[in-house]
Amino acid sequence: MTLDEIKEKIRGLHLGDAKQLDAIFTTEKRLLIEAPAGYGKTKTMVSKIAYMLASGSIPYPKRLLALTFSVNAAMKIKKDVTHQIPLILEGVKTDYTISEKILVSNYHGFARRLLKRSGYKLHPALINIDELKIIDDSKATYLLSNVNGLSYTSASILEKFNEEVKKINGTYIQNNLAAYNQVLINDFLSRGLLTYNGILTLAAKLLTDFEVVREFYRRLYTTVLVDEFQDTNVLSYLLLYYLIGANTQVILMGDDLQRIYGFIGAVPNLLTKAATQFGLTKISLDQNYRFKDNKQMLSLDQNIRRNAEQPRDPQITENATVDFNSYPDHATESAAIVDKCKYLISTDPDSHVAILVKQRGPNVVTIMGTFQAAGVPYFYGLFSDEDPKYVEFNRECLYEFFEQIKLKDQVTKKLLAAITVKLKAKYDITDPLYSSLFQLLAILFEKVFTDFSYLSNQEKKDLLIETLEGNGLKQYVEFINATVILTTVHGSKGLEWPYVILPDMEEQSFPNYYGLCGGCPYNNTCNLTVTDANEHKYLEELSVFYVAVTRARKQVYFTSSNTAINYKGEVVNRNISCLLKIKGIQILSSS
Amino acid sequence: MQVKKLTIRNYRNLDGQEVQFADTCNFIVGENNLGKSNILNLLQVLFSNRGFRDTDFTDLNNPIEIILQISLADIEIGHFEDLFDVDDYHLINIKCLQENDSDNVNFSHLETGTYIQPAIVRCTNYIYYDSLRNPVSEINFDKGKGAGRFLSSLLAGHIEEKSLKSEDFIKDAPMKALLADVNQKLEKLKAFNDFSFKASSEGDLLSLLSRIVVLKNDKGEPLANSGYGVQFLLLITLSILERIHAIKLQRKDKGIFEDETDHKKSISLIIGLDEPEIHLHPYMQRSLIKYLNKIIANQNSDFQQLIKQLFDIDRFNGQIIIATHSPNILLNDYRQVIRLYPANGTRIKSGSQVTLLDKEAKRLHMHFPYIKEAFFSRCVIFVEGDSEESSFPDFAGKMGIDLDELGISVIQSRGGEVAAIKLLIELAQKFDIPATGIGDRDNQPAVAQPLYLTLKKDFEEELVSLIDAGKEGFLENIVKEFEGDNVTVQTGQLNKYAFKAYSVAAVPYTADLKLADIPKSDIINLKAFYLSWFAGNKSYPLGKLIGEKIDVADIPAIYKTVINQAVTFAAI
């Protein structure tokens, strides 16, 4: 098949989508592809890679490095790429699938690989990086009691660094990277310990200190593609910065508006910053395929984006009507949510409904109580990435995995079952949190032998280590078999369900006091005007709102209460959330 | 890809050895039985076979462990995924380990222990050609084996391209008539009838063509009638093509490297040749090596066009490794020489690990064609001129020493006098070749052993001093045998040598000297005559004559010392 025929084939696959085709066929070597959820990002990425391979701008798959934030996302891309590219390139270059695989990895996975190969230059223990125990470095006190002989100064260096990473303090990171690494090299590695951030910082050190290593990787990967680029944190960005040489082709894909991970260090306005730093040409995909037959959702998606583009004067062509119901109080609202779930499931029995709350609190307790009273089972997913119990559970799983894999270096069902047994002895499985975590663990373990059965033993090990080390159990909430899933908006990042209910769409809830409501001059009516003073926070909230809305594959529903009990225990009136009052949204009661 | 270094444990007689290779071309030299071919065999096992056999183990109770260092061209970086040498990203160090003879070789990254698939290592594409191959059995268009597979593929390619059928080559009617005639006769044979065997036309076109297309030279003679040399030359290039053909079939695009800017495709190729000189005369030997070097260096446009046309490959990144006994075959670069020599078993010294001073490199480069032989010797005696070079083997013979048997070569420095000899001795020592040498005393300051100076001014004066020992008769015989009975030395010659160079005469000569006219008691004029005559006639044949005729007792003592020194060195 000739290149023209391939082009024709790709044109057929992306029929009529000028932006997608532009992104695929452009000869620009540095590209930023802005791609909201449902706009055909994955499909565009697959065709783009296929076309680059066919046209020789990636001479063979090995020269491409594809990176993303989480191991779960990396595995999804790997699957798409390895299955679909050969279909597009059928008959062009032979044997793409078997002989040469594209390296798709998450930042930590890639950094770990790098350290495994050349890290011995920094410290011999890094050759066996898989055997190092990852220690949480967010609290100096914890470090002091868990790392033998660690000085208070060293512990403080780590704690402070961890904090500044979360605060995205680039200058601090730059200035203290060396000191942080020195503590790891002096006090951690010889004790068989490492930190999660340390995987990235040591990899960055390797790339900075050893020109040979840096040059090798720049020559090895002549094209670097990053998916979900908006979730790149300040340390991953550093890694990326060193991997991109003067001649590296760069494709960054993502959506600034889906960035809600500010609190774990994702860089704000990252896409714009990267575009300037790497000299990227921006192409924005502009057709929403997910909602092409759902005019209401389509215009909701579009209008939120318009508000984000020009917060003070969004260009709205047509209002989006949203399904919104408000109730006198939380008890009534909760009952309505349960009814709505029952209704949705009765009309669409194979479906799932996700209830996404902004935060935990008395409102959520009411909702859970109502579900229990109604005898409707639900999955408890109310834990954040930072929740100490959640983090600790991931760690325990990881340690148990290491214990077992030391005995026999083969990821088997038997081995994973043994891990589960050990863990169940340690935790109270009647606690809804642990019950949920065990369900997630079971899904992860099952997927190793179903979705990921094609992986080699080493890759399976990597998958499990990366997932647990990155506190990634939560990513499997998507596969939970329960029909109703109760989780937080932040926890829903990267996941999708057919139906989404967003409860508590009222002031002091979504947004909350820390978001926008604290000291808001518009709190009488909640008819917000975007000004210099509130624009930044407003955009943050709008991002979270956008992510929440776009978790729905079919439909999103909103509810609120007119009253709430405040921190003093008094019943107070509540306005409808300002987010439902932005231009282009027209609320319409369904009941 | 190129092999840079082998570090060998427990393999045949090379246990504990390290071999460094030059980038493009290598000559493994040395005496028989030192393991030259073993190095090529070792590469064959690593790059083509599953594993070592029991006879490959120095000690069967221990594993064979080879550290293989390979260098990759820019375009090949990443062939071993993200494995590389952290000190040089063009290099990778591979540990090749085989526990016992029933096992296979296992490859892993030396620094990290990461497993490496044998198929990846095999993409180096090593073609080993030993002189045991029988070209005639391979070079034909039958599907057969080796090079034949490639020739056959040429036919198959054309058949497919033109959609040819048997009818395009065979006329139906005459063939039918022929078969009818033959079968009418064969039918009368019982066995043919019983088992219903009949003459019939070959239905498979490729089989048919493989029998009607043959190789012949312009005189119509088949290949089998040509000398082995010609067959060998034909086979060697066909072997390369056959290997690329097989690689394309088996591995498809794996191991083919595409440049992302000019989209040229390259493939690795390492050619191992064992004693290619066996069937080729010296000119042919060098011609073959130069040709292969051009192919590897992508400088032979015909060959490049052919591989582009046949396999869509533009370039090679490769190396040639030749085990040889022939000084003739060496090209003029000392870095390409890998010298094996005996010293409690085998020791190895590679030119690429020798660092030379500028002046050394220059001299070696200038003299390389003449001193190649040194690389094959156990010891070298460097001398100044033809006289010594030609007489020393006989001097030694008279002393009961066979220089060839001991591996001692006598090589002249060709100018540069004592300083050159000193430099050559040092050079030889850098290649672990023990060397001694003798220069003319002339007005030289003293020198240190193993370099010696003549006791007299030079070879001629050493010889002429036989007169003092009352052995003028020997000189006279030489002169007469070399030139005849009536020998005269002209005035000019006498003044040049006897008066100026050797200062035996107090005043310049005004007349010629005729040997027959000089009284045997006139020592001055005798010396003047002989010094002038020997100096004026010094040459290879004269030296040879001297060597043959001289009595062992009359060999100048200093030469005996040098020869004995060489014998001592060679014995170490």
DSSP B463-494: HHGGGTTT-HHHHHHHHHHHH-SS-EE-HHHH
Mean pLDDT to the nearest integer, B62-82: 95
Residue A575 forms part of a structural domain: yes
Residues A304 and A444 in one domain: no
Mean pLDDT to the nearest integer, B408-418: 87
Question: What's the mean pLDDT when you consider all of chain A?
Answer: 90
Q: Which residues pair with B97 in a beta bridge?
A: B65, B106
Q: Residue ranges of A for the binding site?
A: 35-42
Q: Over the stretch A307-358, which tens digit does the pLDDT of each residue have?
A: 998 999 999 999 999 999 999 999 999 999 999 999 999 998 888 999 999 9
Residues A396 and A359 in one domain: no
Tell me how close the Cα of B115 comes to any Cα of chain A, in angstroms: 11
Residue A383 forms part of a structural domain: no
Q: Flag whether pLDDT at A97 surpasses 70.
A: no
Do residues A52 and A221 lie in contact, with contact meaning Cβ atoms separated by under 8 Å? Answer: no
The neighbour count for residue A108, using CB atoms within 10 Å, is: 25
pLDDT of residue A92: 65
Q: Over the stretch B363-391, which tens digit does the pLDDT of each residue have?
A: 888 888 888 889 989 999 999 989 999 99
Q: Is A7 on the interface with B (CB under 8 A)?
A: no
Residues A496 and A577 in one domain: yes
Measure CB to CB from residue A117 to each of B77, B78, B82 and give the nearest one. Answer: B82
Do residues A439 and A477 lie in contact, with contact meaning Cβ atoms separated by under 8 Å? Answer: no
DSSP assignment of B316-351 equals EEEEEEEEES-GGG--S-GGGEEEEEESSSEEEEEG
Domain with CATH 3.40.50.300 in chain B: 2-132+258-329
Tell me how close the Cα of A444 comes to any Cα of chain B, in angstroms: 27
Tell me how close the Cα of A126 comes to any Cα of chain B, in angstroms: 10
Beta strands A281-284 and A30-34: pairing type? parallel
Q: What is the CATH number of the domain that holds A310?
A: 3.40.50.300
Last residue within a domain, chosen from A445, A479, A513: A479
Count of CA atoms in the C-beta half-sphere (13 A) of A248: 29
Mean pLDDT to the nearest integer, B92-105: 95
Query: Which residues in chain A are contacts of B114 at CB distance < 8 A?
Result: 116-117
Residues A193 and A322 in one domain: no
Residues A400 and A468 in one domain: yes
pLDDT of residue A90: 78
Q: Over the stretch B303-352, which tens digit does the pLDDT of each residue have?
A: 999 999 999 999 999 999 999 988 888 887 888 999 999 888 889 999 98
Rounded distance between C-alpha atoms, residue B396 and residue B398, angstroms: 5
A62 contacts B78? CB cut-off 8 A = yes
Mean pLDDT to the nearest integer, B555-560: 95
Q: Over the stretch A178-195, which tens digit does the pLDDT of each residue have?
A: 999 999 999 999 999 999
Q: Flag whether pLDDT at A243 surpasses 70.
A: yes
Residue A466 forms part of a structural domain: yes
B114 contacts A117? CB cut-off 8 A = yes
Residue B560 makes CB contacts below 8 A (sequence gap 6+) with B395, B399
Residues A92 and A220 in one domain: yes
Residue B315 makes CB contacts below 8 A (sequence gap 6+) with B264, B265, B266, B267, B298, B304
Do residues B324 and B275 lie in contact, with contact meaning Cβ atoms separated by under 8 Å? Answer: yes
Do residues B474 and B445 lie in contact, with contact meaning Cβ atoms separated by under 8 Å? Answer: no
Tell me how close the Cα of A113 comes to any Cα of chain B, in angstroms: 9
A127 contacts B78? CB cut-off 8 A = no
Query: Which residues in chain B are contacts of A63 at CB distance < 8 A?
Result: 78, 260
What is residue A510's three-state secondary structure? coil
pLDDT of residue A93: 56
Residue A290 forms part of a structural domain: no
pLDDT of residue A263: 47
Measure CB to CB from residue B84 to each of A56, A116, A216 and give the nearest one. Answer: A216
B112 contacts A117? CB cut-off 8 A = yes
| Residues belonging to chain A | 591
Mean pLDDT to the nearest integer, B185-192: 91
Query: Which residues in chain B are contacts of A216 at CB distance < 8 A?
Result: 77, 82, 84, 89
* Range(s) of the domain holding residue A150: 110-207
Count of CA atoms in the C-beta half-sphere (13 A) of B137: 5
Q: Flag whether pLDDT at B121 surpasses 70.
A: yes
Query: Which residues in chain B are contacts of A54 at CB distance < 8 A?
Result: none
Residues A492 and A578 in one domain: yes
Residue A392 forms part of a structural domain: yes
Mean pLDDT to the nearest integer, A291-298: 90
Which amino acid, A316? Answer: I
A-B contacts at Cβ under 8 angstroms: 70
Q: Which residues pair with B79 in a beta bridge?
A: none
Which amino acid, A83? Answer: H
Residues A125 and A178 in one domain: yes
Q: Flag whether pLDDT at A262 surpasses 70.
A: no
Short-list B565, B557, B282, B281, CA closest to B410 = B565
Rounded distance between C-alpha atoms, residue A176 and residue A497, angstroms: 42
Mean pLDDT to the nearest integer, B542-566: 95
Query: Which residues in chain A are contacts of B111 at CB distance < 8 A?
Result: 117-118, 120, 127
Which amino acid, A530? Answer: V
pLDDT of residue A241: 94
The span from the first CA to the last CA of chain A, in angstroms, equals 57
Chain A residue with Cα closest to B119: A99
Last residue within a domain, chosen from A479, A504, A522: A479
Residue A245 forms part of a structural domain: yes
Do residues B378 and B371 lie in contact, with contact meaning Cβ atoms separated by under 8 Å? Answer: no
Query: Which residues in chain B are contacts of A62 at CB distance < 8 A?
Result: 78, 81
**Tally of domains in chain A:** 4
Do residues B65 and B78 lie in contact, with contact meaning Cβ atoms separated by under 8 Å? Answer: no
Residues A400 and A342 in one domain: no
Residues A216 and A203 in one domain: no
As to burial, measured by CB atoms within 10 angstroms (0-12 exposed, 13-18 middle, 19+ buried), residue B7 is middle
Q: Which residues pair with A572 in a beta bridge?
A: A564
A219 contacts B78? CB cut-off 8 A = yes
Q: Is A222 on the interface with B (CB under 8 A)?
A: yes
Do residues A113 and A217 lie in contact, with contact meaning Cβ atoms separated by under 8 Å? Answer: no
Mutate to test the interface with A, among B72, B80, B82 (most CBs of A within 10 A): B82
- CATH fold for the domain made of B2-132+258-329: Rossmann fold (3.40.50)
Measure CB to CB from residue B252 to each of A57, A62, A94 and give the nearest one. Answer: A94
Residue A117 forms part of a structural domain: yes
Q: State what percent of residues in chain A have pLDDT above 90.
A: 61
Tell me how close the Cα of B73 comes to any Cα of chain A, in angstroms: 11
Q: Flag whether pLDDT at A494 surpasses 50.
A: yes
Rounded distance between C-alpha atoms, residue B464 and residue B477, angstroms: 13
How far is CA B261 from its chain centroid?
38
Mutate to test the interface with B, among A55, A62, A104, A247 (most CBs of B within 10 A): A62
Beta strands A223-226 and B451-453: pairing type? unpaired
Beta strands A64-68 and A223-226: pairing type? parallel
Q: Residue ranges of A for the binding site for ATP?
A: 35-42
CA A324, A327, A330, A333: dihedral to nearest 10 degrees? -50
Q: ∠B102-B107-B108 over CA atoms, to 5°?
A: 135
Query: Which residues in chain B are contacts of A130 at CB distance < 8 A?
Result: none
Residue A499 forms part of a structural domain: yes
Taking 3-state DSSP, the helix, strand and coil percentages for chain B, each rounded to the nearest 5, stand at 45, 20, 35
Q: State what percent of residues in chain A have pLDDT above 70.
A: 96
Mean pLDDT to the nearest integer, A152-160: 96
